[in-house]
């Protein structure tokens, strides 16, 4: 080493320190001044953050001590995940959120991307719940405070949140779609579909806000901007209710279909033909070559890879098929191509018709039916299976860190992902939460998570549902 060029020594130390974990880096920083400066290099901690979580919210890393912000982010989030992994008493608080006088039909975090971009320095999350009592309620789940409640309307049937803006969208039993300002509860806009039990899907395309609404008449209606201005409509499943509605990660494709008819196929719709369609041209649409769709999900790390659980010959035999969706454009026309890349039978061992399907990454899906939970690779390998619940699973929440299952047995089960050097990706069952007493409750119905909390709805035997909010503190 040339002592006249100390930056060479620093560069070598930093390179060597790339082979250390967080404990090794902290220990190395205590050796001497040079090692301390090298171990505090922001690039090292940024590298570990991105290796561990893939997505990190750079906007929250500001502050006076910028050089240490990546380190602080890594250590704080690691500590928080450690507490969530163990789920010990004292590591979290539990709040019961009461106020609805009907059943909860859905609940959403106000910022839906908080799993990928958590603000670790501001964990004051807001959850909005919709109920058959005709109200939307917004809650501070850390202290259990009711922030606002909407005026009473017809019984609500669904709720979603805007993926980028603080807006909540609801549908009621008369087909009225409403948008609410998330911070104040002020009504922003309203639109009548004339169809009860609508399915909602919000997305942004080319910096423009859109809402897709699946109706009872089998059509998908596209509304533009938060003013809810009708843009287009396309029929996808005749007279059957559209209850499957998905958007691809690249926002180019909407998949719409019904679970109510075993002979119909889900349809792929080109979003550009919906959002910029003219009266002279029908939206570009193509069937997925399966029938009897039971569940579907887009793989989050792929532009447009779709997994579908469907009937396989006999009614009770199910299969999972994977498709890549693309468009072929020629001089005279454009064609949607739906190409099958994998297909394998499923041994669900259940008569339950309710199948829940979520995806973690490019090669891992989570499936629940009845009391059981399975983890499959996209090539059909069974990676793990669990039967922790004694009654059917009613809802699941999957992110890059954990899986949470809610059941009619009045329990939530928390499982965490592990990367094993020999076995690869595995899922490990950790602990459970109990939602109360069966003398007054019927079980959990919905569950949602962000980076530091779990919120679930408990069905009350008196018809008044309660939210349970479990908040972990760092």
Q: What is the pLDDT of residue 66?
A: 46
Rounded CA separation 143/316 (Å)? 46
Q: With bands split at pLDDT 50, 70 and 90, how would you rate the model's confidence at 437?
A: confident
| Under 8 Å between Cβ of 344 and 309 | no
How many residues in total does the chain contain?
474
What pLDDT sits at residue 116? 52
The closest of 457, 367, 374 to 412, measured between CA atoms, is: 457
CATH of the domain at 67: 1.20.1280
At residue 463, does pLDDT exceed 80? yes
Does residue 187 surpass a pLDDT of 90? yes
Quick one: average pLDDT of 29-56?
78
Segment 183-193 shows an average pLDDT of 94
Q: Give the strand pairing for 187-192 and 208-214.
A: unpaired
Q: Is the pLDDT of residue 29 over 60?
A: yes
pLDDT at 474: 57
Phi, psi of 272 (to 5 degrees): -65, -30
Confidence of residue 127 (pLDDT cuts 50, 70, 90): very high
Burial class (CB in 10 A: 0-12, 13-18, 19+), 7: exposed
Average pLDDT over residues 93-122: 78
Least confident of 15-19, 96-100, 107-111, 121-125: 121-125
Residue 254 β-bridge partners:
247, 269
Find out whether 291 and 311 touch, Cβ atoms under 8 Å.
yes
pLDDT class of 61 with cuts at 50, 70, 90: very low
269 has a pLDDT exceeding 60:
yes
Average pLDDT, stretch 49-54? Answer: 75
- Beta strands 126-131 and 136-140: pairing type? antiparallel
Confidence band of 63 (pLDDT split at 50, 70, 90): very low
Flag whether 256 is in a domain: no
Q: Residues 6 or more apart from 16 whose CB is under 8 A from it?
A: none
Alpha-carbon span 263 to 449, nearest angstrom: 35
Cα separation, 367 vs 442, whole angstroms: 23
pLDDT at 204 over 70: yes
pLDDT band at 452 (very low <50, low <70, confident <90, very high): confident
pLDDT at 319 > cutoff 50: yes
Question: Among 49-58, 272-281, 380-389, which stretch is predicted with the lowest mean pLDDT?
Answer: 49-58
Tell me which residue range forms the domain holding 53. 6-85
Structure tokens at 219: 């059509």
Asked whether residue 362 is assigned to any structural domain, the reply reads no
Q: Higher-confidence residue: 219 or 121?
A: 219
Classify burial at 398, counting beta carbons within 10 Å of its beta carbon; exposed 0-12, middle 13-18, buried 19 or more.
buried
Residues 331-341, mean pLDDT to the nearest whole number: 89
- Whether residue 96 lies inside any domain: the answer is no
Q: Beta strand pairing status for 176-181 and 167-172?
A: antiparallel
Asked if residue 399 belongs to a domain, the reply is no
Structure tokens given for 370: 């009845």
Compare 213 and 61 and report the one with higher pLDDT: 213
Average pLDDT, the chain: 86
Residue 67, phi then psi, degrees to nearest 5 = -65, -20
223 token code pair: 């509304």
Q: How far is CA 46 from CA 49, 74, 302, in A?
A: 5, 8, 24
Count: domains in the chain: 1
- 218-224's contacts with Cβ under 8 Å and 24+ in sequence apart are 218/242, 218/258, 220/245, 220/254, 220/256, 220/269, 220/274, 221/193, 222/274, 222/275, 223/177, 223/191, 224/275
pLDDT at 2 over 60: no
Note the pLDDT of residue 30: 85
The count of other CB atoms within 10 Å of the CB of residue 78 is 15
- Residue 388's pLDDT is 92
Confidence bin at 277 (pLDDT 50/70/90): low
Query: What is the pLDDT averaged over residues 83-111?
Result: 90
Lowest mean pLDDT among 27-41, 183-197, 454-468: 27-41
The three-point CA angle 345-348-351 to 5° equals 120
Instruction: Using the predicted structure, report yes or no on whether residue 325 has a pLDDT greater than 60.
Output: yes
Q: Once rounded to an integer, what is the mean pLDDT over residues 185-189?
A: 94
Taking only the tens place, the pLDDT of each residue in 347-378 is 776 555 689 999 988 789 999 999 999 999 99
- Mean pLDDT (whole number) for 441-463: 92
* DSSP string across 121-185: T----EEEEEETTS-EEEEETTTTEEEEEPPP-SPEEEEEE-SSSSEEEEEETT-EEEEEETTT-
Please check whether residue 204 is in contact with residue 251, taking contact to mean a CB–CB distance below 8 angstroms: yes
Quick one: which of 409, 461, 410 has its CA closest to 436?
410
pLDDT at 72: 83
Looking at the chain, the whole-number percentage of residues with pLDDT higher than 90 is 54
pLDDT value of residue 164: 73
Task: Judge whether 37 lies within some domain.
Answer: yes
Residues 6+ apart with CB under 8 A from 105: 130, 131, 132, 156, 157, 158, 159
Q: Are strands 92-97 and 104-109 parallel, antiparallel or unpaired?
A: unpaired
- The reported pLDDT for the residue numbered 226 is 86
d(CA 167, CA 169): 7
């Amino acid at each position: 080493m040339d002592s006249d060029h100390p930056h060479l020594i620093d560069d070598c130390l930093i390179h060597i320190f790339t082979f250390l974990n967080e404990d090794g880096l902290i220990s190395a920083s205590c050796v001497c001044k040079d090692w301390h400066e090298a171990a505090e290099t922001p690039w090292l901690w940024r590298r570990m953050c991105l290796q561990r979580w893939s997505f990190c919210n750079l906007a929250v890393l500001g502050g006076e001590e910028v050089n240490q912000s990546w380190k602080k982010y890594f250590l704080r989030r690691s500590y928080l995940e450690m507490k969530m992994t163990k789920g010990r008493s004292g590591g979290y608080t539990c709040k019961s959120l009461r106020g609805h006088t009907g059943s909860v039909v859905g609940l959403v975090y106000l910022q839906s991307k908080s799993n990928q971009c958590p603000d670790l320095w501001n964990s004051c999350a807001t959850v909005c719940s919709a109920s058959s009592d005709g109200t939307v309620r917004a809650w501070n789940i850390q202290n259990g405070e009711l922030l606002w409640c909407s005026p009473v309307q017809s019984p609500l049937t669904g709720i979603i949140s805007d993926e980028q803006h603080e807006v909540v969208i609801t549908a009621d039993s008369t087909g009225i779609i409403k948008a609410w300002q998330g911070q104040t509860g002020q009504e922003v806009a309203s639109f009548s579909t004339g169809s009860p039990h609508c399915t909602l899907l919000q997305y942004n395309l080319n910096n423009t806000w859109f809402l897709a609404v699946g109706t009872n008449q089998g059509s998908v209606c596209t509304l533009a901007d938060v003013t809810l201005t009708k843009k287009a409509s396309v029929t996808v499943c005749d007279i059957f209710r559209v209850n499957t509605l998905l958007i691809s990660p690249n926002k180019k494709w909407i998949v719409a279909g019904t679970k109510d008819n075993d002979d119909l196929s889900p349809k792929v719709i080109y979003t550009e033909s919906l959002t910029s369609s003219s009266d002279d041209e029908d939206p570009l649409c193509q069937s997925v070559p399966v029938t009897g769709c039971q569940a579907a999900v887009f793989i989050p790390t792929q532009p447009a890879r779709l997994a579908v659980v469907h009937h396989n010959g006999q009614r009770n035999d199910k299969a999972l098929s994977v498709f890549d969706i693309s468009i072929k454009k020629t001089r005279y026309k454009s064609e949607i191509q739906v190409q099958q890349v994998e297909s394998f039978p499923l041994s669900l061992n259940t008569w339950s018709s309710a199948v829940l399907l979520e995806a973690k990454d490019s090669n891992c899906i989570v499936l629940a039916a009845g009391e059981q939970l399975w983890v499959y690779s996209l090539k059909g390998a069974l990676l793990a299976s669990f039967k922790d619940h004694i009654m059917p699973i009613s809802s699941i929440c999957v992110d890059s860190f954990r899986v949470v299952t809610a059941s009619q047995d009045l329990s939530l089960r928390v499982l965490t992902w592990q990367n094993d050097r020999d076995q690869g990706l595995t899922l490990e069952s950790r602990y459970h939460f109990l939602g109360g007493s069966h003398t007054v409750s019927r079980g959990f119905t919905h569950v949602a998570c962000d980076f530091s909390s779990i919120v679930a709805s408990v069905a009350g035997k008196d018809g008044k549902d309660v939210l349970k909010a479990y908040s972990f503190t760092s």
